[in-house]
């Protein structure tokens, strides 16, 4: 009898806790701030929401194209599958594009090209399991300095000066962290089958980078395949945390 009462009591306690939890106000992120879009999902909660009201049901059919930017010359051949989510901070649009996964900075009002950056990775880029422009990039600022970070097809983390597009010299080695190193395994730096399509995630001063392998129906190499790890790096120095 006592055991039965205890079981019912624990069940009621769990149910009561669920009701209290469900009635609490939603905490955390609430969408992109100030009309900017500084991370892939709008905010770190990935809400993909911005509380903007200039475009609504009453004027949607009156919208016109303000400007266009073509990415077909950002690589040795046109890209057939552009999937990037651009970011916008302080009036500048940042995006990856093209078959070489170049980074561009554009004036948000006019579409004017402010700068472009691309890495020539040679055989390493050609052998990469995740090629083309990828899903996007990341933006970081401490209020004084602004940086753009992204992962190349050849699996290198690059940190750029957001104003000039130049690599940050004191990040990693001349602005580059080779993600095939310090990965708790040994692999061929050219043919090692690991890469990334996704944008890095920046939380505070930490850059979080994942891994991916061949997509689609390509058979994996099983237990001998390179492992995919999630790692964190210092956004200022590039040091693995």
Q: Write out pLDDT tens, residues 157-185.
A: 999 999 999 999 999 999 999 999 999 99
Q: Which residues, including other chains, have CB under 8 Å from residue 225's CB and lie 6 or more apart? A: 193, 213
Mean pLDDT value across residues 112-130:
95
Report the percent of the chain where pLDDT is more than 90: 69
Tokens of residue 231, six digits: 């790692």
CATH of domain 32-46+59-234: 2.40.10.480
pLDDT of residue 31: 82
Q: Write out pLDDT tens, residues 7-48.
A: 333 334 343 343 333 444 444 447 888 889 999 999 999 898
Nearest one of 212, 211, 209 to 233, comparing CA atoms: 209
Q: What is the 3-state secondary structure (H, E, C) of the chain?
A: CHHHHHHHHHHHHHHHHHHHHHHCCCCCCCCECCCCECCCCCCCCCCCCECCCCCCCCCHHHCCCCCCCCCCCCCCCCCCCCCCCCEEECCEEEEEECCCCEEEEEECCCCCEEEEECCCCHHHHHCCCCCCCCCCCEEEECCCCEEEEEECCCCEEEEEECCCCCECCCCCECCEEECCCCCCCCCCCCCCCCECCCCCEEECCEEEECCECCCCCCCCCHHHCCCCCCEEEECCCCCEC
Q: Which residue has the higher pLDDT, 136 or 48?
A: 136
Mean pLDDT value across residues 132-160:
97
Q: Are strands 146-151 and 102-107 parallel, antiparallel or unpaired?
A: unpaired
For the ranges 8-17, 70-79, 94-103, 231-240, the lowest mean pLDDT is seen at 8-17
């Amino acid at each position: 009898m006592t055991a039965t009462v205890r079981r019912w009591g624990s069940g009621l306690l769990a149910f009561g806790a669920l009701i209290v939890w469900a009635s609490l106000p939603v905490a955390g992120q609430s969408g992109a701030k100030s009309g900017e879009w500084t991370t892939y999902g709008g905010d770190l909660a990935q809400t993909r929401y911005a509380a903007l009201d200039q475009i609504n049901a009453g004027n949607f059919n009156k919208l016109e194209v303000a400007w266009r930017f073509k990415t077909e010359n950002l690589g040795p051949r046109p890209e057939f599958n552009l999937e990037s989510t651009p970011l916008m901070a302080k009036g500048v649009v940042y995006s990856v594009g093209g078959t070489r996964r170049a980074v561009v900075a554009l004036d948000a009002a006019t579409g004017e090209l402010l700068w472009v950056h691309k890495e020539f990775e040679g055989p390493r880029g050609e052998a990469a399991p995740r090629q083309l422009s990828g899903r996007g990039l990341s933006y970081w600022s401490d209020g004084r300095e602004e940086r753009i970070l992204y992962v190349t097809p050849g699996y290198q983390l690059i940190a750029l000066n957001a104003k000039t597009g130049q690599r940050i010299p004191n990040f990693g080695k001349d602005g580059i962290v080779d993600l095939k190193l310090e990965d708790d395994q040994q692999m061929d730096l050219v043919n090692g089958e690991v890469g990334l399509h996704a944008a890095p995630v920046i939380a505070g001063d930490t850059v979080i980078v994942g891994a991916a392998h061949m997509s689609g129906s390509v058979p994996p190499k099983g237990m001998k395949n390179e492992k995919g790890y999630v790692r964190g790096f210092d956004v200022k120095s590039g040091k693995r945390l």
